[in-house]
């Protein structure tokens, strides 16, 4: 098997990625992003000087991943406040940029609420803008802290679930530092296992059509020297059949009150495979991804994306090999395509949900409410 068997360099940590930051530029404040559509071939920053630019970055997945979308939503509202733009309208535009990840609307509304409260108490534009920025920074910090705690709970759970110490973990999409204020969600658990010498192999689903696994998780795994192997999404079944998967670790974009999990398309088939092969299927997500106001999986809005993402080869590396942005066709011109960005895994297929407030297993709606009650971030509405 052709492994991307990076030298395991436990102990030699790469510099932290600057995934998203607030910057006071000569021309004014801005949200500065590591443009994830250019990875892994180019590490390029994207400067968003206003909310429309940030909305475009969210919709193109230059910035992506539920927890990071929440952070981006918060800084986006702070940017509107700093510019003297309509804060309520900014929160609405940001919240509508992508429908499935609950964190995006949560982050935008939380900062808008803080700004509104300051104004209501008589704060002038400058003071209220400072309050908004402070709330966005608090959200950023809390997510980084949540990432560390999820990794610890996740490692403890793997020790309970899996015998031995060379875990073979399969992950889907990208759930590392590129989706987080810290080291991520599910990927942070795999990274923690590696640091403890407990990671035998990280199986990385390429995750068609936008290749978050091949482009982003492989990039993060290589940076950390993880022993990883990339696979096409449709090769996962044969890995399970060969007994090569000890557990599945995935993230989430929205968890409904009944424990249904919305995550990158392809997660549900993995859950069915895991059930059939008696392999733990573990979801790792902060409580800001739990949405008690959405009663069940059928109520979750699943983002439908352009057919072109399926009918054209969209990997930036392949596009850059084309001429003038030409996108090689992967199908006849004009072919119709079904391109849901997410799918829904029912609670009965989920072994456990790992959050920064603890683990629920088996998943029950009551357990989710209890976890949210423990979290300082319970005000999702």
Ligand X SMILES: CSC[C@H]1O[C@H](OP(=O)(O)O)[C@H](O)[C@@H]1O
For residue 89, what are its two tokens? 């309208």
Q: Is residue 39 close enough to count as binding ligand X by CB under 6 A? A: no
Q: Which residue is nearest to ligand X (CB)?
A: 251
Site for ligand X in 235-254 (CB under 6 A): 250-251, 253
Q: Does 179 bind ligand X (CB under 6 A)?
A: yes
Q: Is 253 a catalytic residue?
A: yes
Q: Are 33 and 45 in contact (CB under 8 A)?
A: yes
**253, 258, 296, 343: the active-site residue:** 253
Minimum CB separation of residue 180 from ligand X in Å reads 7
Does residue 229 bind ligand X (CB under 6 A)?
A: no
Count of chain residues binding ligand X (CB under 6 A): 16
Among residues 264, 300, 345, 380, the one that binds ligand X under rule CB under 6 A:
264
Q: Is 341 in the site for ligand X (CB under 6 A)?
A: yes
Least CB distance to ligand X at residue 93 (A): 18
Confirm if 91 and 109 have CB atoms less than 8 A apart. Answer: yes
Nearest CB to ligand X, comparing residues 30 and 255: 255
Closest approach, Cβ 98 to ligand X, in A, equals: 7
Binding to ligand X in span 191-220, by CB under 6 A: 212
Cis bond upstream, residue 228 (ω within 30): no
Q: Does 173 bind ligand X (CB under 6 A)?
A: yes
Nearer to ligand X, 64 or 198 (CB): 64
182 binds ligand X (CB under 6 A): no
Question: Is position 146 annotated in a ligand binding site?
Answer: no
CB of 283 to ligand X, least distance (A): 9
Question: Which of the residues are catalytic?
Answer: 253
By CB under 6 A, name the binding residues for ligand X: 61, 64-67, 173, 175, 179, 185, 212, 250-251, 253, 263-264, 341
């Amino acid at each position: 098997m052709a492994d991307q068997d990076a030298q395991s360099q436990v102990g030699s940590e790469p510099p932290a990625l600057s995934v998203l930051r607030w910057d006071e530029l000569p021309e004014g404040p801005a949200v500065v992003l590591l443009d994830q559509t250019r990875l892994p071939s180019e590490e390029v920053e994207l400067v968003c000087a206003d909310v429309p630019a940030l909305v475009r970055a969210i919709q193109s997945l230059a910035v992506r991943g539920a927890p990071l979308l929440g952070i981006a939503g918060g800084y986006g509202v702070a940017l509107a406040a700093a510019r003297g733009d309509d804060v309520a309208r900014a929160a609405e535009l940001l919240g509508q940029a992508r429908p499935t990840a609950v964190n995006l609307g949560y982050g935008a509304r939380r900062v808008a609420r803080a700004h509104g409260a300051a104004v209501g108490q008589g704060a002038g534009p400058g003071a209220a803008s400072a309050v908004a920025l402070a709330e966005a920074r608090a959200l950023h910090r809390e997510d980084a802290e949540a990432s560390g705690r999820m990794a610890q709970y996740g490692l403890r759970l793997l020790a309970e679930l899996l015998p031995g110490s060379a875990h073979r973990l399969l992950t889907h999409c990208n759930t590392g530092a590129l989706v987080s204020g810290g080291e991520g969600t599910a990927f942070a658990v795999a990274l923690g296992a590696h640091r403890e010498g407990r990671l035998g192999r990280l199986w990385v689903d390429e995750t068609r059509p936008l290749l978050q696994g091949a482009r982003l998780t492989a990039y993060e795994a290589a940076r950390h020297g993880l022993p990883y192997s990339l696979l096409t999404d449709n090769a996962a079944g044969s890995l399970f059949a060969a007994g090569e998967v000890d557990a599945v670790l995935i993230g989430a974009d929205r968890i409904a009150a009944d424990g249904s999990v919305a995550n990158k398309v392809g997660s549900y088939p993995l859950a069915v495979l895991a059930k059939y092969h008696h392999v733990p299927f573990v979801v790792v997500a902060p409580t800001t991804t739990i949405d008690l106001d959405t009663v069940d999986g059928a109520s979750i809005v699943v983002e439908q994306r352009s057919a072109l993402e399926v009918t054209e080869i969209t990997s930036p590396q392949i596009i850059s090999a084309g001429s003038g942005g030409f996108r090689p066709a992967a199908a006849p011109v004009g072919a119709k395509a079904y391109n849901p960005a997410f799918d829904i895994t029912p609670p009965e297929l989920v072994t456990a949900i790992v959050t920064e407030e603890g683990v629920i297993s088996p998943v029950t709606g009551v357990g989710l409410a209890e976890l949210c009650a423990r979290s300082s971030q319970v005000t999702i509405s």
